[in-house]
A and B are shown apart, each in its own frame.
Chain A
Amino acid sequence: METYDAVVIGAGNGGLTASATLARKGLNVLLLERHNIPGGAATSFCRGRFEFEVALHQLSGIGTNEKPGPLRMLLDKIGVMDKLEFVPMDDLYRVVVPGEVDITLKPDRNQIVKELQLLFPKEKEGIEKFFDLVWKVFSEVIGVFYFKDPEVSREKYPHFFQYVLKNLQEVFDQCFTDPVLKTIVSPYWTYMGLPPSSLAFVDMAAMLFVYTEFLPYHVKGGSQALSNALADTVLSNGGTIRFNCGVKKIIVENDKIKGVVTENGDEVKTRFVISNASKISTYIDLMEPEHVPQKISDELKQSTLGQSAFTLYLGLNCPPEKVGLNASTNFLIGDTDPDRIYERMQQREIGEEDGMLLTCYDLIDNSFSPKGCSQIALVTLKYGDCWLSVPPEEYAKEKFRVADSMLSAAEKIHPGIRDHIEEMEIATPLTHMRYLGHPKGSIYGFDSYLRNSMFFISNRSDIKGLYNTGGWYGSSGFQPTLESGVKAAKALIREFSAQQEGVK
């Protein structure tokens, strides 16, 4: 039987940084992945002469050489920074509400405030106040969590104590009333999945702060380049990666990890496992019910499944300007009431009244598509249930039908896209389920209600030797999941070293 110091289940962002960190520390690590390529959501695929980016729209936390962000420092430490080329985006994002507004914000706080004040003179003070709160609250969060201040107090962190458990709507109501203004400052709610009425204010503050201070980025070669670089680090440090090799069981005895069993039936011995599989899959699919700690069952009970997505990947045989695109990140929003948009995420239909994100990298990276061509990713969030209920024989037809209506809706703002489509691929919640192995195709893990935040859920397992990483155990998104892998690996290494010491 094979034996490893540690086994990592899943080569998503979290599994990759975890494996890389373990391998660099000299542990004999085995990374097992169901799919034939590393990355999980952080991947790409080819159709015709195009290579489509699957998930990465805006990478956060990179920053510049002079003012490096946390992710740049992390990737540097793992040793992949020099294998990658990062391109900053000139724009924070563009928001279009047909008939109301079409505005592109730059990643610069002062400029955003000024521009919004010009557009909404009546809300001048509220705008100032909102951005002030965003920066104050998040700066205090950094003090408390990143710098781990040992003496946290209400006096020292007043905004933290006042705002960190409020939802975005409450803060909006303190600052301004115009629904269009609210729409312009909050399209990022779709990066978390909950509308302002239930999204934590601090989550929105985090995104606005991090993307503005450290700029949104794109990676040349797409997120697959990042995944490949991390996989390369695992290999070159003596780690082993096995693709097309899912894990079907985690062996637990007396609340301790003993090993894993792969889909092929091979048993691997180990005392340490880091799971990048979903929390549900880890505890419900891979483990016998009697081994699941009560604490985890309780945590699961207070959690609900987050959205999946419906995405059109379009390869166009023309430059982006030809269909009126000048910004790389475009939120096309058909309704200034986010609660209505959110409700429609329960149904398959996609129309003009929905919100969608249209990304086009070619505007900042001219090597992204073949010469004279461009590609668009058009995404909207959808809960998985409405797609799981489609009978298999109707599935393809339904996919084309919804794609068609989504395209028509986008064409109301950018006419002519359809005439230029050379390649098209459609991803539904089932597609995400197939490639990520996550229940109902959820791409962000659980709904990110405050009750599921790190203040209330530790995610720490009572099973000795079991660690977790990825979007199901804390925040989702590239930066958080990449960070979570390193964190899990470090915790594992501490325990591993302690045991080694004990043996000596």
Chain B
Amino acid sequence: MKKEMIEQIDGYGDIIREIDVSRKFGSAFKDEKGKVKDYISHLHPSRIQMRVLDIIDETGSTRTFRLVPEDAPLPPFIAGQYITVFVETGGIRTARPYSISSAPNQRGYYEITIRRVPEGLVSGFFLEKVKTGDVIQTSGPQGFFYYNPVIHEKKVICIAGGSGITPFMSMIREVVECGLDKEIRLIYGNRSVDDIIFHRELTRISEQFDNISYIPVLEIPPEDYSGKQGFITGDIIREVTGNTLDKTFFLCGPPAMYDFCLPELEKLSIPRKRLKKEMYGAPENIWEYPGWPEGLSQDETFSVIVNNGKPFKARAGEPLIKALEKNGVLIPSLCRSGECSMCRVKITAGKVFQPPGVPVRTSDKVFGYVHACVSFPVTDMNIHI
């Protein structure tokens, strides 16, 4: 439309005057420069440089690393969230999530507590190589495993296995240090007494505070032990819980614990809305899952081509992301459990196996996208990243 015609529209002159005034007093937004980045980095920095201030021995195979930021103040987090550490070890650049075990009211540092996993790349690196004073790179706090006051009951049953205690440690510390109006009963399963992380602190807190109870469960109890034994069964949970209706359940531990505990919880008819479970990595025995291709060995290898590059081999029983990392293909990752979708890649030819329940977007499935951290190669394939 021509300008002369626009000028003839009723009310044109009034708006021109309005424009004159607004230009006189308006801002050209120069002070917005860098603001978006600033705000976001206060709450959600994508990377934090951390110095290891302290290393605390927890058990024979577990250590706590106290991390302080090198530059900006740490972003706040909600008890239960994790950070991802980015490391290079043995020539491999990779990442692992670790729940923050310190309380969110500790604004000066985060603590992560790492248990050595047999043959574990990153846990091994931390337990053997990392010294105080080292600088490591982490993500900002991530994850959705936290208490939501809008929908969760004030009485909480926490069920932990092994290193799965860490998010609960943060929650419990916050409740007692900040005097929150919440009740936590912690059921904590381990193999033996020596494996229990934070045993002394948990015992002390539960003795001191009425709203925290601590119920260790041991697979191999010592001689004079009078506590709960074996695995965390429905019976134990029922006994600790009493009335299940006014409580929300939080579950955190290795996949094997879920395989055992979830059916037990089902017996108690806990609806999903009162059951929150933290993811804890890709299944370690994917080949035992229903739907795994008949007769395919976990050690079978397949050829993978990324963006028409040079092919390399990937093992069926290992998540695709690890094969990519071993071959120097960097793809971003945070949760390493299928949840955050950071490691989304497009399979353009071939097939992967994914465990059931991985939250991949409906249309991503249609267009061939998978989360590489929980995808296992079961044919030769081409990938686009």
* Chain A interface residues toward B at CB < 8 A: 36-37, 44-49, 51, 144-145, 152-154, 160-166, 220-222, 224-225, 228-229, 231-232, 235, 243-244, 280-281, 284-285, 289, 297-298, 300-304, 317, 388, 392-393, 395-396, 400, 403-404, 407, 418, 420-422, 424-425, 430, 433-434, 437-439, 449-451, 455-456
Question: Is B220 on the interface with A (CB-CB < 8 A)?
Answer: no
Interface centre among B37, B357, B384 (most CB of A within 10 A): B37
Instruction: Pick from B54-62, B202-210, B231-239, B363-371 the stretch touching chain A.
Output: B363-371
How distant is the Cα of A46 from the Cα of B341 in the complex, in angstroms? 9
The reply on B225 being an interface residue by CB < 8 A is: no
Most A CB atoms within 10 A — which of B39, B144, B363?
B363
User: Is A301 a contact of B23 with CB atoms below 8 Å?
Assistant: yes
Nearest B residue to A231, CB-CB: B367
Q: Using A46-B341, A388-B39 as known contacts, say yes or no to A51 and B361 having CB atoms under 8 A apart.
A: yes
**8 A-B pairs, CB-CB below 8 angstroms?**
A46-B359, A145-B1, A163-B10, A165-B10, A243-B344, A289-B30, A393-B107, A421-B273
- Given A37-B341, A152-B2, verify A44-B151 contact (CB < 8 Å): no
In the complex, the answer to whether A451 meets B272 with C-beta atoms within 8 Å is no
Chain A positions within 8 Å of B273 at CB level:
317, 420-422
Task: Report yes or no: A280 in contact with B359, Cβ–Cβ below 8 A.
Answer: no
Q: Which B residues lie within 8 Å of A455 (CB)?
A: 6, 9, 12, 15
CB of B42, distance to nearest CB on chain A (Å): 5
CB of B73 to closest CB in A, whole Å: 8
Instruction: Give B111 Cβ to nearest chain A Cβ, in Å.
Output: 18
Can you add 12 more A-B contacts, CB < 8 Å, to A430-B43, A437-B36? A36-B342, A154-B8, A161-B8, A165-B9, A165-B11, A222-B362, A224-B361, A284-B30, A284-B32, A301-B27, A302-B19, A392-B42
Could you tell me if B42 and A224 are in contact, using CB atoms closer than 8 angstroms? Answer: no
Residues of B that sit less than 8 Å from A by CB: 1-2, 5-6, 8-12, 15-16, 18-19, 22-23, 26-30, 32-37, 39-40, 42-44, 75-76, 78, 107, 144, 148-151, 271-273, 332, 339, 341-342, 344, 357, 359-364, 366-367, 369, 384
- Considering the complex, give the chain A residue whose CB is closest to the CB of B42: A392
**Cα-based distance from A109 to B10 in the complex (angstroms):** 27
Decide if A37 touches B344 in the complex (CB within 8 Å). yes
CB B38 to nearest CB in A, in angstroms, measures: 10
- Chain B's nearest CB lies how many Å from the CB of A266? 14
Evaluate contact between A280 and B29: CB separation under 8 angstroms.
yes
User: B273 → chain A, closest Cβ, in Å?
Assistant: 4
Knowing A396-B76, A400-B150, say if A51 contacts B362 (CB, 8 Å). yes
Q: Which residues of B contact A47 (CB under 8 A)?
A: 144, 359
Closest B residue to A316 using CB positions: B273
Q: How far is the CB of A456 from chain B (nearest CB, A)?
A: 6
Of A46, A231, A301, A438, the residue contacting B26 (CB under 8 A) is: A301
User: Secondary structure of the A side of the interface?
Assistant: helix
Please give the distance in Å from A46's CB to the nearest CB on chain B.
4
B36 and A433 form a contact (CB under 8 A)? yes
Bound form: Cα–Cα A224–B360 in Å: 12
A48 to B144, CA, bound (A): 10
Do the beta carbons of A418 and B151 come within 8 Å of each other?
A: yes
Query: Could you tell me the distance in whole angstroms from the C-beta of A84 to the nearest C-beta in chain B?
Result: 9
Known: A36-B341, A392-B42, A439-B29. Contact between A424 and B150, CB under 8 A?
yes
Q: B176 to nearest A CB, angstroms? A: 18
Residues from chain A with a CB closer than 8 A to the CB of B10 are 161-163, 165-166
In the complex, what distance in Å separates the CA atom of A388 from the CA atom of B271? 37
Distance in angstroms between the alpha carbons of A280 and B36 in the assembled complex:
11
A51 to B273, CA, bound (A): 16
A205 CB to closest chain B CB (Å) equals 15
Closest partner residue, chain A, to B359 (CB atom)? A46
Assembled-state Cα–Cα distance A392/B151 (Å): 23
Whether B367 pairs with A403 at a CB distance below 8 angstroms is no
Contacts A48-B272, A48-B359, A221-B363 given; does A451 touch B18 at CB 8 Å: yes
Closest to B151 in A: A421
Give the residue name and chain of the B residue nearest to A312 (CB). B150
Given the complex of chains A and B, what is the CA–CA distance between A100 and B37 in angstroms?
Answer: 45
Partner of B15, one of A145, A162, A451: A451
User: What number of residue pairs across chains A and B have CB atoms under 8 A from each other?
Assistant: 165
Q: How far is the CB of A398 from chain B (nearest CB, A)?
A: 11
Docked CA distance A434–B142 (Å): 14
Q: How far is the CA of A341 from the CA of B151 in the complex (A)?
A: 27
Tell which of A36, A222, A297 touches B28, judged by Cβ atoms closer than 8 Å.
Answer: A297
Residues A161 and B9 in contact in the complex (CB < 8 Å), given A224-B364, A456-B15? yes
Residues from chain A with Cβ under 8 Å of B150 in the complex: 400, 403-404, 407, 418, 421, 424
How far apart sit A42 and B157, CA to CA, in the bound complex (Å)?
38
**Residues in chain B near residue A300, CB distance under 8 A:** 26-29
Say whether, besides A225-B366, A424-B148, A430 and B39 are in contact (CB < 8 Å).
yes
Are B8 and A400 touching (Cβ within 8 A)?
no
Task: Contact check, A317 vs B30: say whether CB atoms are below 8 A apart.
Answer: no
- Residues in A neighbouring B33, C-beta threshold 8 A: 284-285
Instruction: Report chain A residues within 8 Å CB of B364.
Output: 224, 228
Measured CA separation A166–B10 after assembly (Å): 8
Asked if residues B22 and A451 are in contact (CB atoms below 8 Å), the reply is yes
A154 CA to B39 CA, complexed, in Å:
50
Instruction: For the complex of A and B, list the 8 residue pairs with the smallest distance between their C-beta atoms, beginning with the closest.
Output: A46-B359, A301-B26, A225-B363, A221-B363, A165-B11, A422-B273, A302-B22, A297-B28
Known interface pairs A48-B359, A392-B43, A439-B36; A165-B12 also in contact (CB < 8 Å) = yes
Is B366 within 8 A of A221, CB to CB? yes
Give the distance in Å from the alpha carbon of A252 to the alpha carbon of B360 in the complex: 40
Q: How far does the Cβ of A222 sit from chain B's closest Cβ, in whole Å?
A: 7
Residues of chain A lying within 8 A (CB to CB) of residue B369:
228
| Chain B residue nearest to A150 in the complex (CB) | B2
| Bound complex: CA A388 to CA B36 (Å) | 10
* Contact A456 B19, CB 8 Å, known A165-B10, A392-B43: yes
| Chain B residues in 8 Å Cβ range of A449 | 18
Residues B36 and A281 in contact, CB atoms below 8 Å apart: yes
A397→B42 CA distance, assembly (Å) = 16
A455-B30 Cα distance, complex, nearest whole Å: 25
Please measure, in the bound complex, the distance between the C-alpha atom of A304 and the C-alpha atom of B339, giving whole angstroms.
Answer: 38
Chain B nearest CB: distance from A203 CB in Å? 14
Residues of A within 8 A of B76 (CB): 392-393, 395-396
> Who on chain A is nearest to B17 by CB?
A451
- For A433, list chain B residues within 8 Å (CB): 36, 39-40
Chain A residue at smallest Cβ distance from B29: A280
Chain A residue contacts of B144, Cβ below 8 A: 47, 425
A55-B23 Cα distance, complex, nearest whole Å: 32
- Please indicate the chain A residues that have their CB under 8 angstroms from the CB of B367 in the complex: 228-229, 231-232
Instruction: Give the chain A neighbours of B151 by CB distance below 8 A.
Output: 418, 421, 424
Residues of A within 8 A of B19 (CB): 302, 451, 456
Give the complex CA separation of A461 and B367 in angstroms. Answer: 36
For B16, what are the chain A residues with a Cβ–Cβ distance below 8 Å?
456
Within the complex, the shortest CB–CB distance from A208 to chain B, in Å, comes to: 21
CB distance from A206 to the nearest CB of B (A): 16
Most chain A beta-carbon neighbours within 10 Å: one of B10, B16, B18: B10
Give the CA-CA distance A222 to B32 in the complex, in Å.
33
| Contact between chains at A434 and B44 (CB < 8 Å) | yes
Q: How far is the CA of A439 from the CA of B36 in the complex (A)?
A: 6
**A271 to chain B: closest CB distance in Å?**
26
Closest to A397 in B: B149
Give A244 to B342 CA distance when docked, in angstroms: 9
Question: Do B366 and A228 have beta carbons less than 8 Å apart?
Answer: yes
| Contact present for A298 and B23 (CB under 8 Å) | yes
What's the Cα separation between A49 and B273 when bound, in Å?
Answer: 11
